[in-house]
Structure 1
Amino acid sequence: MDVLSKESDMLLLLEKLVNIDSGSKNKAGVNKVGQELIPYFQDLGYVIEVIPQEEVGNHLIIRHPKQRHASILIVGHMDTVFEEGTVTKRPFTIKDRRAYGPGVIDMKASLVSVIYALRYLKECGSTAYQHVQVIFNSDEEIGSLTSRRIIEREAKGKSYALVMEPARRDGSLVTERRGSGRFTIEVHGKAAHSGIEPEKGRSAIEELAHKIVKLHELNDHEHGISVNVGIIEGGNAVNTVSAIAIGHLDVRVATMEQAEEMEHKIEEMCAKSDVSGTEIELTGDMSRPPMVKNEKIEKLFNVVKKVGAELGMEIKDTKTGGGSDASFTSAMGIPTIDGLGPIGGNAHSEKEYLDIPSLTERTLLLAKVIEKLVKDKEKKLA
């Protein structure tokens, strides 16, 4: 099988997947994506375990029966950030060697890429595809709240983790990510008429405003710390002292030490009110650890870089502030590479696109990386 000749088939499958609304809260839509994928893996001889979920789509664990202990874990996600009805407004389209549509690059093209990489290996007579275990989860875009424990459980004992987030616009892979956390600050005060008896009120909005200023003072962009209250809610009338106010906080860090420090500072800050008579309820945590580029990741990247060179590709790496499931496997000490999907850009927006030539090129790269890693491991065991 020549991957480069399969572009049309791959695009047909991609069109089918993109034209399914599968936002993280759209359980039926995400499950439909999974149902479309399952037969492809069954045709390759894999066994699929469906992990049912109550509120989000079901997760898929895909194994080959000839390998009880696969050495490579591939992780991807089936959910997108788009609301139901987006596909009707802007379905899959192709223009000037780019494909467009909701989730086309983040990360439905990657789902197609995984299938065709494994198919390539099988049809070429390589048994390397049998040494791979795949997890496709359904809630990555909302923090992998139900799938994190599954990823961490299945990652134990693996030699490598290959995460299928899209490559950057310039084709770079991701070897470093900032950790992230989400917090909600809910302030309760006391309502009062702001014209008749304002002195009897205790403004929740005023208290939240004090906290927002203090939280934003924690920013240290030079050292990779970003703190942002991105959404605020509160009050019910302009002439009423607010009885409730809510702030939603996003935190990004570069190291585990910073993650622990930020959690402590935020908890300490919210333990005491600035406005007398108000009370604060803090929820949330640092949910994704940072992916720190260490010696193991560097070594794995060099393997990918070498394979790319043999295919005529110059492979570079980069770091990013966005989160992904790569953070979980790398925090476990497993050599992890992210951004192994095709190349595209403008993810999470109406202009999201896939560079079509990269669909087959990066699929071939993935297949050859899998083959190389399996061969190297077999040599060590020989």
Structure 2
Amino acid sequence: MITYLKKEKNDMIELLELLVNTDSNSYDKKGVDKIGAILQSKFEELGMNVSLHREKEYGNHLSITSAHAKHPEILIIAHMDTVFPDGESENRPFEIIGDKMYGPGVNDEKASHVQVFYAMKALKESGSSAFHNVQILFNSDEEIGSPSSKSIIKEAAEGKKYSLVVECGRPNEGVVTSRKGVGRFTMSVSGKSAHAGVEPEIGRSAIEEIAHKIIKLQQLNDHKNGLSVNVGLIEGGTSANTVSPEAKAVIDVRVKSKEQADDVVKDIYHIAEEDDVHGTDTEVNGRIARPPMEETEESKALLKEVKETGKQVGLDIHGESTGGASDASFTAAEGIPTIDGMGPIGEFSHSETDEYTVIDSLVERTALLAKTIERLSHKQTEE
């Protein structure tokens, strides 16, 4: 399989260049749908069925299976959207420098699109029955929390034995075995305006109240145990000489476990209920949008299979944890053994200049994905 993929290497890079040079910001439906059309055409060339989940606001999602698939047991998830605005690829198009490939979204995660296509192509060319044991889901809104695809991912997870998510691989052959859950909350304070020079005593400062709350929120941090609470945005007031009638804080929350998530949500609401400035009112909106991807005995067993497969293609795979979010959290929360970070290796996703993918890893990780699909398929047959 490695030999076959090495012969396809130039074509793989050519497809990646096309994808990177096609802008696909999460809110650019037209751009994301262009990526979807390219992928649909490629997979249909393999004789695979491509079903569109049409969306009005975001890009359409693609669900792909072999024409002869009955009850595929392996789910592969990749996202087509990026964080970069329309026009970014024209400003800094795909390029190769040394042993790395650069461009907007090359690592997060257009190299993974190429990987998934050529993994399936390699399986078909080899005549492997594992070709029929896969459902592929390309979604369009991962970078903004998967608001329209979350339910589709959960539906796709039903009946699956394994979930392989192709976010970028980590340097030194890492894959992702656990991720923090992510929440976003907005705390809004209403006070009472007054002239700061003439009658400040009748005012109720929303800024003063939100300041007290921000300190309490930041004190919730417990980095040692994997909990982070960050007030990343604040706003409020109308003018320097007015006691502020409104103020707001936007809070990012990362949690390691479901129990930790439940506790920190209670703490946030408790802070909102306590008033330091009498006469102000506070309202909280938000939730834990992505549950934590926690390691389980089943996911550890899946990691072992990936490691053994890695040895077959000359890779020394190891598992890592990360605080970043991905759609792997949704399948893990459904009880499906999940490994993330199965994509080609690179770094600096979302960077305006430094994001890259290692050229050789495009072939190596494609072989890893294809051989893992094959190994897991044969394992289920044996059982």
Partner of 1:358: 361
Gaps of 5+ in 2: none
Q: Secondary structure at the match of 1:270?
A: helix
| 3-state SS of 1:125 partner | coil
Q: Which residue of structure 1 aligns with residue 166 of structure 2?
A: 164
> Following the alignment from structure 2 to structure 1, what is the Cα–Cα distance between the partners of residues 284 and 56?
26
| Alpha-carbon separation, structure 1, partners of 2:146 and 2:100 | 29
1:134-213 to 2 correspondence within 5 Å? 134-213=136-215
Per the TM alignment, residue 63 of structure 1 is displaced from its structure 2 partner at its CA by 1.9
Q: Kindly state the Cα deviation for residue 93 of structure 1 after the two structures are TM-superposed.
A: 1.2
Identity %: 52
How far apart are the structure 2 equivalents of 1:334 and 1:60?
Answer: 21
Q: Find the counterpart in structure 1 of residue 10 from structure 2.
A: 8
Q: Quote the Cα distance in structure 2 between the aligned partners of 1:203 and 1:35.
A: 53
- Is residue 128 of structure 1 aligned with residue 130 of structure 2? yes
Aligned-residue offset at 1:274:
2.1
Pair 1:304-2:306 in alignment: yes
Deviation at 1:272, TM superposition (A): 3.4
Does structure 1 conserve the Cα–Cα contact (< 8 Å) formed by 2:175 and 2:342? yes
Listed one character per residue, the Cα deviations across residues 346-369 of structure 1 (whole Å, up to 9, x for unaligned) are 011121101111001100110000
Counterpart of 1:20 (choices 22, 28, 38) is: 22
Name the aligned partner's letter for residue 199 of structure 1. E
Within 5 Å, give how 1:243-322 maps onto structure 2: 243-322=245-324
* Structure 1 residue ranges (4+ consecutive) displaced by more than 4 angstroms after TM superposition: none
Q: Distance in 1 between matches of 2:89 and 2:273?
A: 45
Partner of 2:62: 60
1:208 Cα offset (Å): 1.1
2: CA distance, partners of 1:206 / 1:86:
41
Residue 223 of structure 1 and its aligned partner are, at CA, apart by: 0.6
Kindly state the Cα deviation for residue 156 of structure 1 after the two structures are TM-superposed.
Answer: 0.8
* Match in the other structure for 2:40: 38
Amino acid paired to 2:326: S
**1: CA distance, partners of 2:59 / 2:203:** 45
**1:85 Cα deviation from its structure 2 partner:** 2.2
Cα deviation for residue 64 of structure 1 reads 2.1
Question: 2:381 matched to which residue of 1?
Answer: 378
Instruction: Indicate the residue corresponding to 1:69 in structure 2.
Output: 71
Q: Distance in 2 between matches of 1:68 and 1:206?
A: 61
**How many Å apart are 1:271 and its aligned residue?**
2.4
Query: 1:275-328, CA deviations, whole angstroms, 9 ceiling, x for partnerless residues?
Result: 222221211101111111111011111111001111111111111111111111
CA distance in 2, matches of 1:241, 1:29: 45
Distance (Å, rounded) in 2 between the aligned partners of 1:59 and 1:271:
41
Distance 1:238 1:84 in 2: 37
Q: After superposing the two structures, state which structure 1 stretch, 263-272 or 12-21, moved more.
A: 263-272
State the SS of the aligned residue for 2:8.
helix
* Mean Cα deviation higher: 268-277 or 335-344: 268-277
List per-residue Cα deviations over 1:150-189 (Å, max 9, x = no partner). Answer: 1011101100000010011222000011111111112222
Alpha-carbon distance between aligned partners in 2 of 1:57 and 1:200, rounded to the nearest angstrom: 51
AA aligned to 1:110 is S
Q: In 1, distance between residues paired with 2:64 and 2:227?
A: 37
- Counterpart contact for 2:173–2:315, Cα < 8 Å: no
**Structure 1 residue 236: Cα displacement:** 2.6
C-alpha change, 1:230 and 1:369, in structure 2 (3 Å) is same
- Residues 76-95 of structure 1 aligned to structure 2 (within 5 Å): 76-95=78-97
In structure 1, what is the Cα distance between the partners aligned to 2:290 and 2:6? 36
The RMSD of aligned alpha carbons is 1.2
- TM-fit CA distance, 1:81: 1.1
Aligned pair count reads 380
- Give the alignment's TM-score, normalised by structure 2: 0.97
**Partner of 1:57: helix, strand, or coil?**
coil
Secondary structure of 1:334's partner? coil
